[in-house]
Each structure stands twice: as C-alpha cells, then as structure tokens.
Chain A
Amino acid sequence: MADETFLSDDLLRQLMSVGEVDLLVGILSHSSANTMRRAAHYVEKSLQQNFVRQRVAIISVEGGTVEDTRSDGDSSDGQPGSSFYSKGLSSLRTIHRITAGFSGTPSPGLALRTILSSSDLLRAKACAVVSPATSSMSPEWVANLLRPAFRDNFDFVAPLYSRHKFQGLLARNLLYPMTRALFGRRIRELYSDEWAFSSRLGTYCLNEDVWHEEPVRSRPEAWMGISAITSDFRCCQVYLGEKPSPPDGAGPDLVEVLRQTVGSLFWLLETHQQAWMERKGSEPVPTFGPEHAVTSEPMELNRTRMFEMFKTGVKELEPILETILSPETLLGIQSIAALDEHSFRFGADLWVTVLYEFAASYHHSVINRDHLVQALVPLYRGKIYSFIAEYADASAADMEEASENLCLEFERQKPYLTEKWKAGVEVKS
C-alpha cells in the first residue's frame, strides 16, 4: 500500500481533482523551462492523438511547472476553435496536468516514488516516464511506450533506440550484456530516461522498502526493470527512435555515470542474489517496432587521451586493483597496458572476468564500495579505446555480431561469478 503521507497536501489536492485515470505520464524534470514545455507539449500531443477516449494525466515532478498552455476551450494546436472545424484527432476529455515539487533532496528516485504514489492513488492502468532532456523525443514515443502496458498487458516496457555505433557504449559493453547474462532477459536499455509500466508493477515497486537506498535514488529505472525481471512480470521492448547523446559537458562525468550505473548494477546483484544465481542462459523479450539499428557516420573521438588515462589508471591504482582483481586478471590488465596504442586490444574474455571480479569484490566489500566502482573507470576507458579501434570500420551487422559475442561471453563466464560470489574472501591489506 502506498505511503500516502509521503505526498504533499497540494499534490493530494490536485490528485483529488483528477480522480481516476487510465494513463499517467510522468515527466522527470531537471531541465530548463523551455525543455519542460517542449516535453509537456509532446506528451500532451501524443495523448491527444493516440488516447482520445482515455482519462489521462501528466505529472511533472520538479521544481518548475508544466505550464498550462491550454484552457478548456483551446484545441491541441493552441488555436481556439480549430478542433471543431477540422477532422483532426483530439482528446475527448480534459488532459489533467499535475505539478509536484520535491519534499526532500531532489533525486530521480524521489521523483519516481512521487509518480508511483500518484499513479497508485489515481489508479492509472499504465504509466510512462519521460525525460525532457531527451532532445529527440516525439509524441509517438509516449504512445509507443504506453501501448504495450495499457493494451497488451505488459508490466515493464523498456525503450530501444537508434544510436551511432560509438554512442551508448556503456550499455553495449557493460550494462546490457551483464544484466542479460545474469538476469536472463535480453533487455537492451534498462538504464534509460524513458520507460513505462503497468499498475501491477507500479504498486509492487511502491511497496518495496528501498527508497532510501542510493542506487534507487539515482537510477530507479534500473531497479524497477530488474525487479520486473526477477519477479516475473511481463517485460517487453519498444523501439522509439534516435537517441543522440547529450552535448559535451551537458551530462555528468564518466566517474559519476559509472558510480550511478555500475554501482547500481552491483547493488542489484546483491539485492536480487537468489534470482540471478538461479537463472541460466537468457531469453529474448517481445519487441515492438522496427529493428533497432546502429548508424556509422564518421565521428570524431579523442582516443589518445582515453588510452593514456587507461595506462595511468592501471599504474596508479595498482594497490586498489590488487584488492579487487585476482592476480591472473590483474596481470592480464597490466600486460595489455604495456602494449602500444596500435597493438592494444582489450579482449572480451578479460573484460568479462574483470567485471565479474569487480562485482564479487563489491559483494564482499573488499574496499569502500564507492572507491571500488571508481577504480573501474580507467579499465572501462581502456575497453572503450579498444572497442573503437576494433570496430572503426565495422558495419551494423558486424557490430551486432560483436555485441552478441560479448553477451555470450558474459553468459559463459557466469559460473565464475557465482563461484567468486559464494567464495570466502581474502581481504588484502
């Protein structure tokens, strides 16, 4: 049952006015008023065009507001009167707009909790979450996310994007293959800014006592997705479209990104230990829309600096890496760090071993967990350097094959992780 006292009186008053809805769309806002307006406009347009009969509401969880651009009499394009003289699509009902401020330190987890609580009180059958930071979002995205949850009884709807082959590298080289191998479902984008869920899953997650945990506060979508997988909720993927990376400097730095994503993944391994240990292999999930694709236009990347940071990191962090990695693995790392730029390769088998040993060490808390995740940063840089060099001229099919091979390597080595996980630990001083 939802903790209703968590919501402010103002939000409760707004929810009371809305009553019951079929669909709720949450906008997680940490952006400017302009991007908020654009996102709210797309969401509203999508609801107008695709869910004309449904009772719908948009909730913006942020410091700002979803500006009320429409009154009762305005049409979807803001031109009073036009909706009646055109045969265009237009929602039959009022589209409710709710604004919720943070009652604590702002975080994505707190925002999701607010959305889940609202969804629960509004008895929404399906709910989607979108981010105004996604510049390529279109009205169709919202509809595509909501449909499987609302019409096809799916509980968790993950997005699929088109990306350049050298974008989304963390997902391609680490998050997707590792979650797929361990949790057994082939969901490519568990860490994303857009997703949807059913009321069943929403209520289930709302009632979990995890909201104070840092991984849930920072990346609640991954926790929700993994919870859906491990509790056998129905999951699917839906193709949304192109997802460009944020411009340089717009997003958090790599250390923070890994802290949030890999840290959250390692934490999820702990909290869902029994579930992933029991699973073998992996299964595809239903996927809607066209095949996701990688694009391969030329792209400028500063690889030299990446390689230098890898080598420096391996050298400077040796004492820490010694506590995390097995001697054989550390030796493997040090061996490739000694190679020159042109002959350097970070093989899939070594990469998987490194990650599994990091995960096990996280579990055994061999050092401060935050420091442990940070120690992965230079190794990740080395892996990415190698990946870019290896696939500079690769086609989309080559990329797909490489991705599949990496996933299979994660699956092949899964018993190694289980073994390390269960084993006692030698804490080196």
Chain B
Amino acid sequence: MALQEDNLWYKDAVIYQLHVRTFCDSNGDGIGDFVGLTQRLDYLQELGTNTIWLLPFYPSPLRDDGYDIADYTTVHPSYGTLDDFKAFLTAAHNRGLRVVIEMVMNHTSDQHPWFQEARSSRDNPKRDWYVWSDTDTKYQGVRIIFIDTELSNWTWDPVSKSYYWHRFFYHQPDLNFDNPEVFEAMWEITKFWLDMGVDGFRLDAVPYLVEREGTSCENLPETHAIIKEIRKRLDQFYPGRMLLAEANQWPADVRAYFGDGDEFHTAFHFPLMPRMFMAVKLEDRKPIIEILDQTPPIPANCQWCIFLRNHDELTLEMVTDIERDYMYDEYATDKTMRINLGIRRRLAPMMENDRRRIELLNGLLMSMPGTPIIYYGDEIGMGDNIYLGDRNGVRTPMQWNGGTNAGFSFADPERLYSPLISNSVYGYQVVNVDSQRRFGHSLLSWMKALIKTRNSYRVFSRGTMEFLRPSNHRVLAYIRELGNEKILVVNNLASSAQAVELDMQRYKGYIPIEMFGRNLFPRFGDLPYLLTLGPYQFYWFRLRRI
C-alpha cells in the first residue's frame, strides 16, 4: 500500500506512539531496535493506525529517555544503524504508514560536541551557541519545569566557570537561538532527515527556544519567528511534511503556534487530556465542555492532536490547583504515582482495568475533533510499574505474547533494558497481543474495530463539532458534521445507567444508524429523542436522511 498523496494527511492520521527501545528486540541484547520494529509493522497496519511517532532514537547518554541528544544525525547504537532506520522507513512507507520523528531544538545533551566545545573556553566559536551568564540572576522568575529535581534554571559549569541556562534537566543546556548559526545548524539536521524521507517532526519543548529579560521566556515572538522560518523552508522544499508542536500551554497560547497556518501543522491539546479523565471520574461533562468552549478556532490547514496517555507523566500543568488536587486524589492516591506536576500511570491501571471506562475514553479520543494518538501498549490494556523511577514505569517492554520475555526479546530476562510487567492483573502472561488476537471481544479487537470505523468516515478527522447540551450533565453528546456526513456521538460518563433526552429538532426526519452494529434506531421527530445508556456506554450514530 503506497502513501496517499495528500498534503493534509496529518488530519486523517491515527498516530501510534512508540519508543524503538520498548517495541521489539531483534538481536537479543535486551533492547528494542529498528530491525525488530520493522518486523512488527504488520501489527501496526493491522491495528488500523497509519502514522508512527518515534520517540528519540539518537545517540544519547539517556538521562532523559533520549531527549538529551548527543548526536542528531545518526541512530543510537543500541537501536541499530542508520541503514536499519532507512530500511524501517521504507518498510513503513510500503505499508502506507508515515513516520514522524523527534526534533529537540531547544537543548542538547551536555555530552553533545557542540556543548563540549562551548564550555572548553570562552573564546571558542561554539561558545555563543548556548546561553551563558556570569551570574544566576538573569531571567528571574522564570518557572522551573522539573520541580522535583531542579532548583534553578541556571547551572554552574566548573569548566568554563560560568552559568549555563537550561529549562529542563541541568544536563540539557539550552541552545542560543539568538545566534543565527544555531538555527542554520538545526535546519541542516532537519534537512538530513527530510531528505531521508521522514514525514514529519514532533518539535520538543517549542515555547522555550528564546530567552528575554523581564518575560516568562515562553512563547516569545522571536520563538514564533523561528518556527515560521522553518515552516517556510519546509513548504518550499519539502511540501507535505508535517510539524507537530509540543507546547504544554493553554489553548489560547498554543493557538499562536498555528500562526496563520504558517507555523505548526498540528499541536497537542494538552489541557483536554486531564479533563477527559476528570469528566469520567466526576461523572460530569463540564470539564470537557469548558475547555473545548475555550479552545479558539484554528486555521483550516491545521489540526489538534489529542491523546490519553503518552511516554511522560499525565501532565497536570494545565489545570487549576483544585483540579490537580482532585486528579491526584482520584488517580494517584499512592504518592509514588506522582511525579513533577503529573501522574506516571498508564491508561488501564488508571481506569482500574475497567474495560467499559477504557472503551469510553478511547471512544472519546476517536470521536472528538483532532488527530488521535495511541500510546503503545494501551491498545491491549498494558499496565505500569510505578516503582521503576522517573517515568520508566510506563516505558516497559511491549507485551507480544505470554512466552519468554513477552515475545519482546530472546535475551536473558536480566538483560532486558527494563523489567517486564509481570503481575497477575497486567502481566504479559495475561495481557498480550497474541492472546487478544485470538478473541473477537478482546480489547485489541475492539480497538481495531473502533479505529476502522473512525477511518471509514472523514467527518471524524475533518468535521466540525457542535455540543448538544441535554439537561442530564452526565451525558456528553455532540454532532460531528462534514458536508453530508453527520455523526451523533452520545457518551455516558457515569457509572450508572442514564436516560437522556436530546433535542434533535434540527435533524427531524433523519434516521440514526448505530455505527458498530449498523442497526437502525427510530427516526428523529418533533419530540426530544430519548436514549438510555448503560454505565459508561457510548453510541456513535450515523445520521441518514432516507
């Protein structure tokens, strides 16, 4: 299957996020690699996803899961070679799967040769590639992001006897984008991968590229200017490639990263994610409606990316203090589950392995406006290990089968980069791809059906959304519409059965067809349309005028 020619392909994407290290080990060294990943591409195709987002695979001291890059133009030896990557990319494209990779522009590892040169002397030509100061008092008041580990955004460099600026870990010095050489160097790296054929980049830590005194050093106009320049060159030389922004900000602030359709193609909708969890726990649609009501419109060629879980903690930065406390109390009662301002847990354990809630959340993910992202393993309900430190508990090996090392590797178990999940509820003997492939009612089979249904109707990826606001606040209902395609989505957020009356006057005469069973429901008339829903049940109806 060849890639479809469509520059807006990212709008119709269903993205599968994975780390090469976690997916499949082909050479028995206990670490996943590109050859292994290539062997598993059929699975991603079978699942119905059409885009792969790879976490960083570059050479790195791996003190921040690869986001501390020491060399941007090759592959970490543990994951294979550049040729292995090229083979993987070709194989993915041959299956109609696009590949999005990470580009960390804000900072490098302190082991990167650029930084090693920069710190070697104050006269080194690379010195100005980073942000230095003789004091640690510049940019006072700028928030510290990793509050659990960092006390300051400045760290003393004993080699060059001055402070360097870093918004993340102390071993990740920020690049100085006021120096045009830095920008050109990053563009060269970008070109390197574009020439190879990658379909897009997730740009890490975008808001922090530029620093200015007296500001929060976030979302500055100079940062936007840099993005615009990248986009301009991308459109000029590599049309059809995509930029995805990681900007953990409020929707109105993220909106600026779409520009006039001339910055990012897509951006994560961070505030929506915790509110989906909150809404299900509160059994109230208010959090979701509030945040989407406050999400500004975006240019026609842009798209939000939405997700439930990812490789990081479930971030609670974009919630109020009260909402954060509530999330902690409800989803992270054990303080070990908390890290920074978030929760380091996977989807299934957060839902107490309640299949109905897992399905409901995935149903929301697949039916709300935006490009959905599935975090590897969540499609089979993998568990986590909160005792592994940092966020490694949600980065354990993929569980392929119930055999040795869950089918992930043939290395000795002790050699695996991470212990497997092996408890009696989420262990690989119970939760794995092979066993779920065997049954039509497994979570994996259900996810396939869900994704297939979504992929069958472009209205999900490109249509408008309008909330219905029935008086029952435990029911979240909305209409997705694109031309003649009309879909009614009704979600019961509550753990108990609910009745809801929907005002469908505007669609009088339409017949709702339940999309999974394809059964006809009674035609909409003058009266409010009464539906009953079981606990956490949801309906997708295609509305047809027949």
Contact = CB atoms under 8 A, between A and B. Distances in A.
B445 to A, nearest CB: 33
B469 A72 contact: yes
A83 B289 CA distance: 13
A45 B473 CA distance: 19
Given A92-B286, A93-B282, A94-B286, A84 B472 contact: no
A92 B294 contact: no
Nearest to A96: B473
Nearest to B498: A19
Nearest to B469: A72
B291 A94 contact: no
B56 interface: no
Nearest to A82: B294
Interface string A1-23: 00000000000011011110000
B293 A73 contact: yes
A85 B287 contact: no
A331 interface: no
A52 B250 CA distance: 22
A62 to B, nearest CB: 19
A84 B294 contact: yes
Nearest to B496: A19
B467 to A, nearest CB: 8
A80 B294 CA distance: 8
Interface stretch (B103-111, B319-327, B365-373): B319-327
Given A72-B293, A90-B320, A94-B473, A16 B284 contact: no
A301 B516 CA distance: 78
Interface secondary structure of A, over-half rule: loop
A412 interface: no
Contacts of B225: none
A72 B477 CA distance: 13
B542 interface: no
B289 A92 contact: no
B287 A92 contact: yes
A83 B322 CA distance: 11
B474 A19 contact: yes
A92 B282 contact: yes
Contacts of B290: 72-73, 83-84
A151 interface: no
A135 to B, nearest CB: 31
Contacts of B472: 16-17, 19
Contacts of B467: 72
Contacts of B252: 81
B284 A93 contact: yes
B471 A72 contact: no
Contacts of A17: 470-473
Nearest to A88: B320
A94 B323 contact: no
A422 interface: no
- In this complex, the member of A73, A89, A92 whose beta carbon has the largest number of chain B beta carbons within 10 angstroms is A92
B398 interface: no
B289 A90 contact: no
Contacts of B326: 52-53, 92
Given A73-B294, A92-B322, A84 B250 contact: yes
Contacts of A55: 284
Nearest to B290: A73
Contacts of A84: 250, 271, 290-291, 294, 320
A93 B250 contact: no
B499 interface: yes
B431 interface: no
Contact of A90 (B294, B322, B496): B322
A94 B285 contact: yes
Interface residues of B, number: 31
B70 to A, nearest CB: 39
Contacts of B278: 92
A342 interface: no
Nearest to A73: B293
B513 interface: no
A30 B467 CA distance: 36
Interface string B435-475: 00000000000000000000000000000000101111110
A72 B470 contact: no
A212 interface: no
Contacts of B284: 55, 92-94
A87 interface: yes
Interface in A66-124: 71-73, 80-81, 83-85, 87-90, 92-94, 96
A16 B499 contact: yes
B494 interface: yes
Contacts of A71: 469
Contacts of A52: 322, 326
Nearest to A95: B286
Nearest to B278: A92
A96 B473 CA distance: 8
A16 B469 CA distance: 15
Contact of A80 (B271, B282, B287, B293): B293
A72 B286 contact: yes
B362 to A, nearest CB: 23
Contacts of B271: 84
B290 to A, nearest CB: 5
Contacts of B291: 84
A93 B320 CA distance: 13
Contacts of B496: 19
Contacts of B293: 72-73, 80
A84 B470 CA distance: 24
Contact of B471 (A14, A88, A89): A14
Contacts of B473: 17-18, 93-94, 96
The 4 closest A-B pairs by CB, nearest first: A73-B293, A17-B471, A94-B473, A72-B289
Given A53-B322, A92-B326, A94-B286, 11 more contacts: A13-B471, A16-B472, A19-B498, A53-B326, A72-B286, A80-B294, A81-B252, A84-B290, A84-B294, A87-B320, A94-B285
15 contacts: A14-B471, A52-B322, A52-B326, A53-B326, A71-B469, A72-B467, A73-B289, A80-B293, A83-B290, A83-B320, A84-B291, A84-B320, A92-B287, A92-B322, A92-B326
Interface of A: 13-14, 16-19, 52-53, 55, 71-73, 80-81, 83-85, 87-90, 92-94, 96
